[in-house]
């Protein structure tokens, strides 16, 4: 895993850094930057190839900060992290008390000023990790200010969580049902952001309460009786829309829940362990592919034989997030069959999703390794080193800590 993490990181270090700052907005299969003119929209969000989104650039900031923190240290890694931080500080940041800009052109002119909680949470995550890795007080101050801004503007004091009714059309972009006011995907990433920020600022007066609240919501509201996490909710956390599982998100949520609770009291940790186990076991029951790894999405699994998954793509980030999800479930259950799951998922990621000619991962393939419909490009608003690099580094670090090599 650690070797693959280094191989994953290298093409980004070699080709993805933009001399103007941060990372290029779009990279083709060969890691060549592609920059369209402003009248050439692509993708589900209408972005232009070359545009730089807050989601994307914050994920890059997180990735190189984590890589450096986990021992993949080089002048290139540090320089890329610094460049991403300066881009956030100088171009996405407006001023204290305001959310960051959502989207810039390639020349760093503002294109969208929408304030989506999802995007802002990644800014908190990236800034907190950069601050921790490089002991940067300015990044820490920015992360705290951004959290307080979002909390004051969006926190639901009645039902908990964050009200997305005026969330920069995020719910419209993800095709949420009409009555939806809260989105699971957003709350998963708020959870990881608050976990990193709590490590960065452990004595913040509100942050601890919010982290406890998010852990409880994940286990009591987002998680359903069968174990899967529902996608969309009304303000009071009533599920809305069809019952559908995203197996990758569920496995990701399971291990992020454990990480968040590790900073909380024993009672909360016990609750989180029960919830995380239920979520991960359901995802593997409903979404496991005998060829290795997990399918994309499908209906929740009732008692008995699970239904057939609907989304048969094997998406790169979902296979990556399955690694820490399966490993943490293995530690909880001591079920040795999960070792086979872990190994076959890693092999599918390494052998079927990896581009042997140009490096890094394809967006998706099918079970037999044939290309998925998304295309073969390597970098865009939704594709950065974040998922795969994190999964490989943290899982390998956990294994090394649990099973240290004998001294020579």
Residue 43 above 60 pLDDT? no
Rounded to an integer, the average pLDDT of 131-144 is: 98
Residue 251 above 60 pLDDT? yes
Helix (H/G/I), strand (E/B), else coil: 112: strand
Model pLDDT, residue 241:
96
Rounded to an integer, the average pLDDT of 49-77 is: 97
Q: Provide the whole-model pTM.
A: 0.96
The string of pLDDT tens digits covering residues 269-316 is 999 999 999 999 999 999 999 999 999 999 998 776 777 899 999 999
Helix (H/G/I), strand (E/B), else coil: 175: coil
Model pLDDT, residue 408:
47
Residue 189 above 70 pLDDT? yes
- Count CA within 13 A, CB hemisphere, residue 35: 12
Contact 235, 159 (CB under 8 A): yes
CA distance 23 to 87: 9
Rounded to an integer, the average pLDDT of 385-390 is: 98
Residue 125 above 70 pLDDT? yes
Model pLDDT, residue 171:
93
Full strand arrangement of the beta sheet holding 232-233: 182-183, 232-233, 239-240
Name the band, by pLDDT with cuts 50, 70 and 90, for residue 47.
low
Q: Report the chain's mean pLDDT, rounded to a whole number.
A: 94
CB within 8 Å of 144: residues ≥ 6 apart: 197, 201, 204
Fold that domain 182-351 belongs to in CATH: Glycosyltransferase (1.50.10)
């Amino acid at each position: 895993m650690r070797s693959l993490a280094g191989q994953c990181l290298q093409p980004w270090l070699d080709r993805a850094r933009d001399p103007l700052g941060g990372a290029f907005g779009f990279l083709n299969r060969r890691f060549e930057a592609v920059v369209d003119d402003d009248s050439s929209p692509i993708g589900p969000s209408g972005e232009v190839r070359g545009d730089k989104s807050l989601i994307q650039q914050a994920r890059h900031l997180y990735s190189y900060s984590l890589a450096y923190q986990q021992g993949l240290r080089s002048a290139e890694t540090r320089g890329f992290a610094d460049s991403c931080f300066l881009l956030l500080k100088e171009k996405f940041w407006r001023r204290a008390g305001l959310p960051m800009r959502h989207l810039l052109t390639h020349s760093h002119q503002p294109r969208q000023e929408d304030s989506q909680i999802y995007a802002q949470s990644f800014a908190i995550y990236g800034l907190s990790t950069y601050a921790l890795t490089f002991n940067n007080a300015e990044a820490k101050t920015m992360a705290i200010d951004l959290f307080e801004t979002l909390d004051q503007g969006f926190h639901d004091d009645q039902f908990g969580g964050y009200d997305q009714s005026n969330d920069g059309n995020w719910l419209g972009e993800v095709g949420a049902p009409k009555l939806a006011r809260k989105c699971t995907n957003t709350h998963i990433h708020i959870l990881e952001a608050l976990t990193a920020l709590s490590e960065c600022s452990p004595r913040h007066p509100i942050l601890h309460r919010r982290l406890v609240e998010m852990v409880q919501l994940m286990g009591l509201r987002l998680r359903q009786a069968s174990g899967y996490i529902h996608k969309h909710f009304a303000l009071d956390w009533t599920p809305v829309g069809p019952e559908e599982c995203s197996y990758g998100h569920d496995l990701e949520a399971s291990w992020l829940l454990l990480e968040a609770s590790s900073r909380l009291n024993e009672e909360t940790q016990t609750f989180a362990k029960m919830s995380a186990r239920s979520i991960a076991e359901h995802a593997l029951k409903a979404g496991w592919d005998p060829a290795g790894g997990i399918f994309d999405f499908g209906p929740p699994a009732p008692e008995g034989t699970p239904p057939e998954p609907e989304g048969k793509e094997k998406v790169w980030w979902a296979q990556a997030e399955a690694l820490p999800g399966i490993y943490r479930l293995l530690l909880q259950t001591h079920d040795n069959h999960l070792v086979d799951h872990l190994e076959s998922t890693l092999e599918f990621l390494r052998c079927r999703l990896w581009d042997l000619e140009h490096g890094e991962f394809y967006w998706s393939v099918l079970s037999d390794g044939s290309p998925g419909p998304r295309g073969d490009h390597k970098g865009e608003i939704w594709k950065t080193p974040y998922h795969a690099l994190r999964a490989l580094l943290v899982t390998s670090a956990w294994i090394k800590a649990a099973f240290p090599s004998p001294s020579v």
